[in-house]
Chains A and B, each alone.
Chain A
Amino acid sequence: MNDLLLNLILTLDASFRVCTPLIFASMAGLFAERSGVVDIGLEGKLLMSAFIAASAASVFGSPWIGLLFAIFASCIFAMIHGLASITFKGNQIVSGVAINILASGLTMILTLAWFKSGGITPTLQGDERFLSITLPGVDIIDHIPILGVIYRELISGHNILVYLAFATVPLVWWVVYRTRFGLRLRAVGENPKAVDTAGLSVEGLRYKALLIGGILCGIGGAYIAIAHNAQFTKEMTAGQGFIALAALIFGKWHPYKVLAACFLFGFLDALAVRLQGVVLPVIGEIPVQLIEATPYILTVILLAGFIGKAIPPKASAQPYIKEL
């Protein structure tokens, strides 16, 4: 029984680590899409900021500098996306795809130019990256059964960005639903003409949304390279930007529901790791392929009818053209 509990706790613990970049990326996507800009370039921004974070952390020897540079790089990419899709009213999907391709190519070329290695940065040593933090009081609570294990394994021992990710979600909810900016943001994604008529800048609001998204993606990318891992490797984001988009749709563009979707995906991933090679009664050993496909199968099933219809913001993917 205790063994089962510990296993469950360890799986949940892994879910926290795995879903952190998904949370940052999907919150970034939430801002963009709520403002009416589809952001398929989340993946590219994650990749680019992962690379810049690892490079800067390695050159300057500090994860905080790595994080700052990552946010900066991600914001530049967000602004390129904004320039193409807001100012020049280009197709948002095409612009997003271009961001992904650009990031994929640039990271390879820059690793070659800066570190003389295609797609890999130097390994970060010791405190050049974000290390896990042991929360105060672990020794005291440890004596309490169950609660002690939960506190020690599940809550304590993550790095600071994991805690930041979970703190970001209520903040995003507060900004989107409780501030004037949030109200305008939601309005511009539903009915930009009304916002324009009220004398507000549609373009300005959308740029702000993308900039916030850029910051969040930057933190997410930095987490992948300098917190969860200790260096950048080629294509290391492995499609997490797209999974974040799926989580966004899954959670119907609502911060808490999106968080739940991210956590579910993270949990399935962590569970898959632990289910491998385990012999179950009747079924026997589960093949790796089935385990790998489980999150996707589940997504299809759940999206097919269990969560109802996912309706995106009305003005999503439409550039706003002012009528004169």
Chain B
Amino acid sequence: MSKKLVIFLMSGRETPELAAAAAQGGADLIELGFPFSDPLADGPVIRRAAERALSEGMRTKACLECLAEIRGRVQVPLVPFVYSALLEAYGHERFVADAASAGASAILVPDLPVDSHPELRRIQLVAPTSTDERIRLAAETTDGWLYLVTLTGTTGARAELSSALAGLAERARRLAPPELPLYAGFGISTPEQARAAAEIADGVIVGSRAIEVAEDGPEQLRRYVSSLRTAIDAAR
């Protein structure tokens, strides 16, 4: 089974075109950032991207419109990455309904731990600090696949792939239902890191570096995603 490549993009006017380029480059899924003013899980690159998006007026409704526009251009699954503050304001049920009708296949909430709001179906995240009990609960309740946060820290490129990933993935395999896909994200930016992560997990999520490359336009993004694709496909 080929490994999955997830590309994170921040909502914005140019995002539909960027999403199309990412899909052409070989992305299997696009995570769409809904910008929040105080994003605790994010490092400087995504934080700055969120600030820019907010200054362009990318509020929740505009982001949902962006999602729908992307849906019209690409076939791959789309997943909003949305902080709980936005859900609180918009309403959980209303958001889930509106995101689904705009074309989302699931949602991801980085600051809603697995035992909060269990009624809200979402892709769950686990971290190297998570206990076995919490990994099991997250794996049982997650929506489609489980997000392995490879490191203790915020989003953003790192020099090396986190050494914590292997142990986390091993625990998750042992605790999760069989066949549940495990995708690794945070701190993965180079093709080499993506390949190494793909040898451990079933999918790889790339965010901050994709945001930086996207600033140079869709063609640059397509080439970058394509280099990640090639690296991941070479994974054992």
Q: Do A and B bind each other?
A: no
- Residues on A lying within 8 angstroms of B by beta carbon are none
